[in-house]
Structure 1
């Protein structure tokens, strides 16, 4: 069956995240675009990119004309733009009142950036990605109060995003307070109580929800779990996805070897593994179905694209074109199994 949805995207921010003076050099934005556009598998190409609105790739305060130049550049590679990552880490939700105002203002700037891309024509789908910009340790000092602070900040951000007809997707990741377990993530989303808030699932990060990193009280897989026990893994994946799938509006395909990892200034979180990593614990294409299909096996079709997130790969790996060909091949496999035509 020939399918044309979901569209297949690569992420640009792996050229930045985990890089820097205390790690490896940033991979230039143009290079990320070039390698994405050059990837090809059996006639399949990437349809687009998801953008991290992060220095040094992109200055969130650039002029509209500069944003249009970025749009022209991306379109010149025959790529679209999908979701955008708002650079909200300068405004932690569990910081000061001014920090929370900064958070909301950075979301507004990301929404404006997205509007210029929409008006240009290069962006026709996707969301604005956020997180709490605060760690689990800060959150755990007063869980009830801090969940409310996060929710209050997210509500204000949602109200701003609604003016731009944007949805916000909170990324579930063990390094973000109030989002560091599958249950806390649901509680935070419920507390926000806005129609334009949702969840961004990343297969690497959500696998760690099952292991209870940073939230052992919500661990699902048993201690000393034997990864060859596929039935127990699938039961755990079903528990997490049944809880979070109704909220899911953005999706990252990824592999994980069951360990945590951090480089540069990035806190330890789910280790993104290569698509071909023999230590990967997920059957990526099959397990993507837990997110892309409902409890009865029907496609949800709740988002128009899926994206590969390969944060914190070594530069030596990222500069190899074969890496991106392998990633594209895995995304094609997901679409072949769970795609549709429009």
Structure 2
């Protein structure tokens, strides 16, 4: 019997993140186009169950009226898709600002979380969204400023996250902090763990694990002192280090992204350098996706995870527009569910 859970979602933000209108930037792909590509994907007579959304223009206005949000939800549901996790627009230049910033910046960060929770509530009320989190990060690009006083700056981010957690709890939502090497205070597995423990709201503020990003945690790209692997590691050394890292972060993990990484660090548009996402069958991919997913999905049902999401952030438009990309992605997602899912 095939497993029913976790449901399989596709991320919509690869159509926006790293795209733009400046010279050398690729144009964004609209939400409708990303939805078209998602609904067209088929593998073994199965399709994607839903999508995770980026709550910012040009995909979605986080301050949109309730009627506009309900119309969007209806349109997605009519395509046979659910809505899952939502990315809050917490960064400078969107609604928010740095969680490590001054009082005004931190207020902007919290306003972005509040708007995201409002959108989540509207989607929940329509019935199109029954699982997922609101994703956040420190919205502090790079780690140089954080390094000026690591303990104090982690404490400041934690204070902001704790207040954001109260906003989320009041709205019936959970927040997941994305583990990614470009976000200050979250740029290594150890710093991420220290931050979550400082926040100390395990039922409300947790971790979002992404296979591509957490791979670079192992190598200590932005925190060599916390590296668990040398670049010339063996397979045995890799899985020993992987088990060690995941054992620390898995109890906090509320949201999980399936992805591939080729070991490179990439940036595009206004997005700072981070782990490079690759197609699942990339010949330079470093990860056995199905095996690595097993470490994160152990106990996932008990942690409230009902869906997993493919993340192809900063894929070139040529790759996004290729139907074979989505067939390959969906095949990999199905393999993960069959190996580690449940009914």
TM-score, normalising length: structure 1: 0.96
Instruction: Give the Cα separation in 2 of the matches to 1:109 and 1:131.
Output: 15
Contact 1:139-1:177 within 8 A present in 2 as well: yes
Instruction: Give the Cα separation in 2 of the matches to 1:250 and 1:149.
Output: 24
Contact 1:127-1:169 within 8 A present in 2 as well: yes
Gaps of 5+ in 2: none
Instruction: Give the Cα separation in 1 of the matches to 2:194 and 2:100.
Output: 16
2:305 is equivalent to residue 291 of structure 1:
no
Secondary structure of 1:61's aligned partner:
coil
Gaps of 5+ in 1: none
Instruction: Give the Cα separation in 1 of the matches to 2:232 and 2:72.
Output: 47
1:94 alignment partner in structure 2: 100
1:199 alignment partner in structure 2: 207
1:304 alignment partner in structure 2: 306
Q: Aligned-pair distance for 1:302?
A: 3.5
Picking from 250, 263, 267, the partner of 1:258 is 263
Secondary structure of 1:221's aligned partner:
coil
2:192 alignment partner in structure 1: 185
Contact 1:292-1:301 within 8 A present in 2 as well: no
Mapping for residues 79-228 of structure 1, pairs under 5 Å: 79-90=81-92, 91-134=97-140, 135-194=142-201, 195-222=203-230, 224-226=231-233
Count of residues paired in the alignment: 335
Instruction: Give the Cα separation in 2 of the matches to 1:178 and 1:327.
Output: 31
Instruction: Give the Cα separation in 2 of the matches to 1:25 and 1:293.
Output: 39
Instruction: Give the Cα separation in 1 of the matches to 2:57 and 2:221.
Output: 30
Secondary structure of 2:27's aligned partner:
coil
Secondary structure of 2:219's aligned partner:
coil
Instruction: Give the Cα separation in 2 of the matches to 1:193 and 1:293.
Output: 22
Secondary structure of 1:238's aligned partner:
helix
Instruction: Give the Cα separation in 2 of the matches to 1:300 and 1:181.
Output: 26
2:66 alignment partner in structure 1: 64
Secondary structure of 2:238's aligned partner:
helix
Instruction: Give the Cα separation in 1 of the matches to 2:302 and 2:165.
Output: 23
Contact 1:292-1:300 within 8 A present in 2 as well: no
Secondary structure of 1:242's aligned partner:
helix
Mapping for residues 258-277 of structure 1, pairs under 5 Å: 258-277=263-282
Deviation readout 1:81-112 (Å, 9 max, x if unpaired): 00000000031112220110111111011000
Q: Aligned-pair distance for 1:61?
A: 0.8
- Structure 1 stretches of 4+ moved >3 Å: 298-302
1:237 alignment partner in structure 2: 242
Instruction: Give the Cα separation in 2 of the matches to 1:215 and 1:100.
Output: 25
Picking from 331, 336, 339, the partner of 1:337 is 339
Instruction: Give the Cα separation in 2 of the matches to 1:301 and 1:33.
Output: 28
2:41 is equivalent to residue 3 of structure 1:
no
Deviation readout 1:135-173 (Å, 9 max, x if unpaired): 311211110110011000001100011111100000010
Contact 1:299-1:338 within 8 A present in 2 as well: no
Instruction: Give the Cα separation in 1 of the matches to 2:263 and 2:321.
Output: 25
RMSD: 1.1
Instruction: Give the Cα separation in 1 of the matches to 2:90 and 2:288.
Output: 33
Q: Aligned-pair distance for 1:299?
A: 6.8
Contact 1:75-1:122 within 8 A present in 2 as well: yes
Contact 2:253-2:303 within 8 A present in 1 as well: no
2:55 is equivalent to residue 53 of structure 1:
yes
Instruction: Give the Cα separation in 2 of the matches to 1:259 and 1:121.
Output: 40
